[in-house]
Structure 1
Amino acid sequence: MSFANQTLTGSKPEQYAQLLAQARALVAGETDRIANAANLSALAYHSLPDLNWVGFYFYDGNELVVGPFQGLPACVRIALDKGVCGAAARARQTQRVEDVDAFPGHIACDAASRSELVVPLVKDDRLIGVFDLDSPRVGRFDEDDQRGLEAIAQAFLESLT
């Protein structure tokens, strides 16, 4: 099955259903978190419009450490008390930020980022990391995006052993 340059069609929920099917196919039978994070980052980055960064940060027991991503070079380490990623990890709740300039403590790894969605990755009540998406457009992410990207994050978690 080829995943490159597939066009998503239909409503936004239908597009996310197509993307989720592609994500599940990519991780099927693979348990390596680096391989799966790399493929899912590339899938989302190349399938969804208006994104300038998509990737994973993994929790090392102390802080978040950058993992596979697509986009410009990123902040390597993020404390749990810093930025949108830290807030998602600390609260274990998705953070959907319309305007990152209005988010207290936002970390500007890429000055072009204007909105952000971060999904915490929690398995068996243990923090694994976060799935982070940035956009150069204010208000890029809505509830449909949040639900769709949370489902892709869940597919990633289900792939882990």
Structure 2
Amino acid sequence: MGGSQSVRKLSVDNENAIQVSQEALDRIQAQLNAKQAEQPTPRPQYAPPPYYDTHKQNEYAAEEAYWARRIENLKRAHEKINSGMHLEYQKTLKEANDLFDLVQADKVVNKLPPCQQEKGKMLECYSSNPDKSLLCSVLVNEFNDCVCRSRIAAVSASS
């Protein structure tokens, strides 16, 4: 009796089952869809909590105004700092450009070889006296002296 479990199977044949046509199923489905469309979807409504009274609203408004003023003050301070930095930048840029122009002008002056006038006189003398080069010795000495002076000036300027 209690040693093994028995398994029972039960089957019921329902000969009185109702068969519904496809047209009837479609009509029922259409009616269900129409009812669902008629029912409006409930909108969530926000109700402020009971402790949210005018006193709290005033506190929040005051705090909001405080932070708005604070932000505006910080914006103005930032604009002042930014304009000051911009002016300093422009001033420094102008000074740097002036120095650069000065150095460039100095380089242009120094790029020309020294004693060009003496060199021209000496070469003219040689071309006009091709067979008598000793006649140009005075001009050669002047050119040599000019070159020596230029070298001394360049060395003293760099040190």
TM range, smaller chain: under 0.3
TM-score norm. by structure 2 comes to 0.19
Question: Of Structure 1 and Structure 2, which has the larger fraction of its residues in strand?
Answer: 1
- Structure number with bigger Rg: 2
Question: Of Structure 1 and Structure 2, which has the larger fraction of its residues in helix?
Answer: 2
| Higher RCO, 1 vs 2 (CA within 8 Å, ≥6 residues apart) | 1
